Amino acid sequence: QKEVEQDPGPLSVPEGAIVSLNCTYSNSAFQYFMWYRQYSRKGPELLMYTYSSGNKEDGRFTAQVDKSSKYISLFIRDSQPSDSATYLCAMSRSQGGSEKLVFGKGTKLTVNP
């Protein structure tokens, strides 16, 4: 079993839809949970990160972490065609550097106008 599992999709939704992206993990030592967005032929860019369990909101994006279930989610409200990208979840055990990020395989999202 991989440490981080993510459904690769692809996921196709109409503009304005609410998108739900999810990852599960097996290592209970993970403390920091991140979502990256990667456009085609570009490097990943950090969208949000959350420490431990709970929710975090930033504009149209909401990240949720449920450590008891080892499950994290990213919700995108009022999705736009510009949100079309691959979304990668990532996790680490600490924030002070010295800790690699463990990534899911990414979910490819297309938002259709």
Partner 1 sequence: GAGVSQSPSNKVTEKGKDVELRCDPISGHTALYWYRQSLGQGLEFLIYFQGNSAPDKSGLPSDRFSAERTGGSVSTLTIQRTQQEDSAVYLCASSLPGTSGGVTQYFGPGTRLLVL
Residues of the shown chain interacting with partner 1 in the complex, contacts defined by CB under 8 A:
6, 32, 34, 36, 41-46, 49, 88, 90, 92, 94-106
Whole-number minimum distance, CB 22 to partner 1, in Å?
15
Of the two residues 16 and 59, which places its CB atom closer to partner 1 in the complex? 59
108, β-bridge pairs: 86
Of the two residues 20 and 94, which places its CB atom closer to partner 1 in the complex? 94
Check: CB of residue 98 under 8 Å from CB of residue 92.
no
How many angstroms separate the CA atoms of 110 and 89, rounded?
A: 17
Check: CB of residue 25 under 8 Å from CB of residue 3.
yes
Whole-number minimum distance, CB 43 to partner 1, in Å?
3
